[in-house]
Amino acid sequence: MENILIYIVDSTEKSIAVNHTLADLDRNSDIRIYESITIRKTDQGGFDVLKDATEEGGWKTLGGGAIGALIGIVGGPLGLLLGGLTGTFIGATMDTEEFVVSTEFIDQVNNSLQVGEIAVITVVDETSPDFVDTALQPLEGRSFRTSVDEAYDHYQERVEKAASEEHAAEKAKREVKKAERKEKRAELRESVKKKISDWWDKL
């Protein structure tokens, strides 16, 4: 199942350890990481972004324009979540043609994340949460998950019901689109990493 995973810790060192642990699980094929970013909540209600999440690359405070640029580069469910956390997107449900993130989930994360705390946000494909939860347990952080595909399915079901569309036919279409989305995100994984790296170099 493809999830947005958020793991909150209280120090840069722990956030780097989280990223190393997730990378090890990815290398061992226990999970598959599509995108990831590490942010820290500031006392101004904004966020800093860790330039290199696997080592002491330093924090960058991003203004509105830079945040918007980063969201545009990342895109997908991670971009939507960042938009919600930074207040770039407003609405009961934030969605694009293919992704949905509920503001209930975003509010839950925002209310839990305290000033100075760090959130490692990852879009991950995992057959079970046990691999990640067990590996990260020594770091004593807090985790949140929401399913990328289930959130989209629930949104589409509400749309279909309101429009009185035939449920079975639309469900089959969703399954096809779900498979297409997963394949597309896998193909774009390296491309997104390069774009983010190039973007950082220009700051």
Per residue in 79-136, pLDDT (tens digit) is 767 777 766 654 434 444 444 566 777 788 888 889 999 999 988 999 999 999 999 9
Per residue in 17-57, pLDDT (tens digit) is 999 999 999 999 999 998 888 888 888 767 788 876 666 65
pLDDT value of position 153: 59
Per residue in 176-192, pLDDT (tens digit) is 888 887 777 777 777 77
Q: Is the pLDDT of residue 9 over 90?
A: yes
Angle at which helices 103-112 and 76-85 cross, to 10°:
60
Distance of alpha carbon 74 from the chain centroid = 10
Domain ranges within the chain, ordered by starting residue: 2-202
CA dist 6 and 9 (Å) reads 10
Q: In 10 A of CB 128, how many CB atoms?
A: 11
Find residue 6's DSSP bridge partners. 121, 144
pTM: 0.67
Can you spell out the DSSP letters for 84-124?
Answer: HHTTSS-SSEEE-SS-EEEHHHHHHHHHH--TT-EEEEEEE
